[in-house]
Amino acid sequence: MPKVRHYADLAATLAGLMWLAVFWSISISARLGSLEPTLAALFGLGTLILVSFVHRPFRVLLRRYHVRKRRTEMWMHILALPLTLAFLIGMFIEIVFTPPSGEQKMLLFNILATGGWGVFVLTLLSKWVMHRFSTRQQRGA
């Protein structure tokens, strides 16, 4: 696998982890009644974005096709699917039990987003393992 794909996988994984930190900090802030955890997470996110725009090697690396493709896959795993599932599960809970509060809805989304990120990472690891075995078999044959 070319080196740029490894960088793309790493960039997408770290970006997903960074956004999960922001999502979870919102839940923690809502629970504590304080904006400090969210502000700290947003400050960290802003710092990483600033570094990636200012530092030339990162900027060149993040423009490549594979990085954009992997980041799109990551967004599908941690945002699109969890939002849809949280909406559907929240409707089911509201119909069957009682309407969940805003904190509970955000917690449900965070749990689903974290699970989606885990699936994304496991998918990348399985692709990497399959590629390693296929290149090893091609070299041996």
Q: What is the DSSP string of 74-111?
A: HHIIIIIHHHHHHHHHHHHHHHHS-PPPHHHHHHHHHH
- What is the rounded CA–CA span in Å between residue 46 and residue 55? 14
Domain count, the chain: 1
- Which domain covers residue 61, as residue numbers? 3-140
Q: What pLDDT does residue 57 have? A: 66
Per-residue pLDDT of the chain (141 residues; tens, 9 = 90+): 566 677 778 878 888 899 999 999 999 999 999 999 999 999 998 888 787 777 666 666 666 666 677 778 888 888 888 888 999 999 999 999 989 998 999 999 999 999 999 999 999 999 889 988 887 777 766
